[in-house]
Amino acid sequence: MLVYRVQNADNIGPYHAGYGYTWMTRDHATTERHPSPYEDGMDDFRLYSEMRCGFDSLAKLRTWFCNEELSNLGELGFRIVVWDVADDAVIRGHKQVAFNPKDAIVVSSIKLTGRACGALKVSKDETPPKSSTGSGYARIVVVEYIQ
**Interval 29-55: pLDDT, tens:** 777 788 888 889 998 886 657 899 999
Residue 18, pLDDT score? 73
Residue 50, pLDDT score? 86
- Please state whether 97 falls in left (phi above 0), alpha (psi between -120 and 50) or beta: beta
Tens of pLDDT, residues 82-133: 999 999 999 999 999 999 999 999 999 988 876 555 555 444 444 433 333 3
Neighbours of 58 (CB within 10 A): 18
The Cα-based distances of 117 to 43, 77, 139, 144 in angstroms read 32, 14, 24, 12
Residue 130, pLDDT score? 39
Q: Where in the chain are the domains? A: 2-117
Q: What's the whole-model pTM score?
A: 0.76
Residue 67, pLDDT score? 87
Residue 146, pLDDT score? 38
Cβ contact 3:104 at 8 Å: yes
| Alpha carbons 114 and 133: distance in angstroms, whole number | 39
Would you place residue 21 in the very low, low, confident or very high pLDDT band (cuts 50, 70, 90)? confident
The more confidently predicted of residues 83 and 137 is 83
Cβ contact 132:126 at 8 Å: no
Residue 53, pLDDT score? 94
Among residues 137, 138, 139, which one has the least CA distance to residue 125? 139
